[in-house]
Amino acid sequence: MTNYNTFYIAKIAMIAAIGGFLFGFDTGVIGGAQLYFTEHFKLTPGQQGWAVGSALYGCLVGALVAGYLTKAISRKYTLVLSALFFCVSAWGSGDASTLSELVIYRIIGGIGIGFASMAAPMYIAEISPAEQRGKMVSLYQLSIVLGFFVVFLATYYIGGGNAVESSVEQLAAVHQDNLNHGWRFMFWSELLPACLFLLMLFFVPHSPRWLVMKQRDEQARAVLAKLYVDKSRADAQLAEIKASINQTPSTSNSKAVAGGLAFAIFIGVMLSVFQQITGINAILYYGAEIFSNSLGYGPQDALKQQLWLGGVNLAFTFVAIFTIDRWGRKPLYLIGTSGMFLGLSSLGFTIYTQQLGIVSLISILVFIGSFAMSMGPVVWVVLSEMFPNRVRSFAMAIAVGAQWLFNGIVANAFPVINRSELNEQQFNGALPYFIFASFCVVALVFVWRYMPETKGKTLEEIEGIWER
């Protein structure tokens, strides 16, 4: 029998993880919608990259600001703010009449994602017991990919569904309707989960570690008493948290970094950077365009192929959930990143040799599945647990901010590189995938050499890694 309340912990973790669902939904909706609003607004490749990538700069701002908010107003109320931003963005993006309006509302949504990407995994890590923390934080990654999968379903059916038996005239009519209205409904479909998230957040408690930081020890004890069946375990956990937070009560962020955490932050930043420059979001954002242009599918069929991406992403995330607390963070990362390299290399080769077909599709799915079982969940788990209590908000903001910065850079750069003369004439369209594959090798070497294993340790025990 466990000495913690598994059902209660899972319930509040899943509510917080809805922030991940909206993260996946909001970033995934652009993959289908951009097929149509790009033509609707007659965008150049640079403008298309800006329309897609603009939200990511909002994510950067949101993540950095959330470093302050999660400490000042709590992890919980930062999530409430994120839900409000999601609601505003969903409505405004669908109602946009110009590129500028669309970009503004996408940036607002990005800020909401930035808030959620900081607060949700941090909150889940802080309410989870050490033995279950990897699995619980992985629920956040599961929610992200579930959001991607659901939005792929939504954009597929809003975009016209299965068009195999449609006539040329029917396809033209569906395409015109999507140019006029379909992409708007794709954005508006986010309103329902955003409003649900906002409502359910009022039923979760504050993080006990945040409460101790604010010297609200009795409230922290009450929360821990709900998390743990054994009262003595709750009291022991409270004492451990207080000792950690009160260890250096006057230490500033800059002094903490100078005191030995700089290397921890460097590892966190590099994990975030690798998660982006290995290409996952370029393929998810531009998946429909890749299937349409590089692999020769029509728009409706391209949306259908995206369902394969979402389905594999979802299925392999469960592999991570059931193995991350058994195998450990580091082995899972190394195995999965090796698979990412193989998938990208194979995809690049099929495009370079123009031998497109089932091997190309399988290569993309191998890449997606390998990411879903490794780099995707592992990075969020490690970032949420690797930093000491007293500077977690500050350090995680830097690491997550780096993630969104490079996410935006990749999203903006991909269409430019993909349509470049060098790529088309020298690489037959394969250059981006060879670049992503090379970064997988760099990530493998870095993690094998520098990332510590945090499996099974309490958050307070992990602090000791950086004090040696």
> CA dihedral in degrees (55, 57, 61, 66; nearest 10)?
60
DSSP secondary structure code for residue 467 in this structure: G
Contact (Cβ atoms closer than 8 angstroms) between residue 174 and residue 166:
yes
Dump pLDDT digits (tens) for 214-232. Answer: 999 999 999 999 998 888 8
> Would you state the structure tokens that stand for residue 137, as one six-digit string?
């934080």
Residue 287: its pLDDT value, please? 59
Q: How far is Cα 429 from Cα 127, in angstroms, rounded to an integer?
A: 46
Q: How far is Cα 313 from Cα 315, in angstroms, rounded to an integer?
A: 6
Residue 303: its pLDDT value, please? 55
Q: How far is Cα 259 from Cα 309, in angstroms, rounded to an integer?
A: 44
| C-alpha neighbours within 13 Å on the C-beta side of residue 175 | 16
Residue 1: its pLDDT value, please? 47
CA nearest to 415, candidates 148, 50, 24: 50
Measure Cα distances from 198 to 48, 53, 83, 415, 452 in Å: 31, 25, 5, 35, 36
**Is residue 263 packed enough to be buried (19+ CB in 10 Å), middle (13-18) or exposed (0-12)?**
exposed
Residue 162: its pLDDT value, please? 57
pTM to 2 decimals? 0.81
Q: How many residues does the chain have?
A: 468
β-sheet bridge partners, residue 4 = 228
> How far is residue 160 CA from its own chain's centroid?
28
DSSP secondary structure code for residue 128 in this structure: S
Q: How far is Cα 45 from Cα 393, in angstroms, rounded to an integer?
A: 37
Measure Cα distances from 217 to 127, 210, 266, 285, 428 in Å: 15, 10, 32, 44, 62
Q: How far is Cα 208 from Cα 223, in angstroms, rounded to an integer?
A: 6
Contact (Cβ atoms closer than 8 angstroms) between residue 290 and residue 433:
no
Residue 286: its pLDDT value, please? 62
DSSP secondary structure code for residue 275 in this structure: H
**Is residue 233 packed enough to be buried (19+ CB in 10 Å), middle (13-18) or exposed (0-12)?**
middle
Q: How far is Cα 89 from Cα 108, in angstroms, rounded to an integer?
A: 6
Spans of all domains in the chain: 6-467
**Three-point CA angle 334, 56, 340, nearest 5°:** 20
Q: How far is Cα 433 from Cα 430, in angstroms, rounded to an integer?
A: 6
**How many C-beta atoms surround the C-beta of residue 424 within 10 A?**
12
Q: Which ranges of the chain have pLDDT less than 70?
A: 1-2, 159-167, 170, 247-260, 284-306, 467-468
- The structure tokens 């992985």 sit at 138
Q: What is the CATH number of domain 6-467?
A: 1.20.1250.20
What backbone phi and psi angles, to 5 degrees, belong to 4? Answer: -130, 160
What backbone phi and psi angles, to 5 degrees, belong to 318? Answer: -65, -30
Contact (Cβ atoms closer than 8 angstroms) between residue 45 and residue 167:
no
Measure Cα distances from 225 to 1, 76, 219, 466 in Å: 17, 19, 10, 30
Residue 245, C-beta contacts closer than 8 angstroms, at least 6 positions apart? 209, 212, 213, 389, 390
β-sheet bridge partners, residue 56 = none
What backbone phi and psi angles, to 5 degrees, belong to 228? Answer: -115, 135
**Is residue 44 packed enough to be buried (19+ CB in 10 Å), middle (13-18) or exposed (0-12)?**
exposed
Q: How far is Cα 154 from Cα 296, in angstroms, rounded to an integer?
A: 22
Residue 4, SS3 per DSSP: strand
Residue 383: its pLDDT value, please? 92
Q: How far is Cα 18 from Cα 308, in angstroms, rounded to an integer?
A: 22
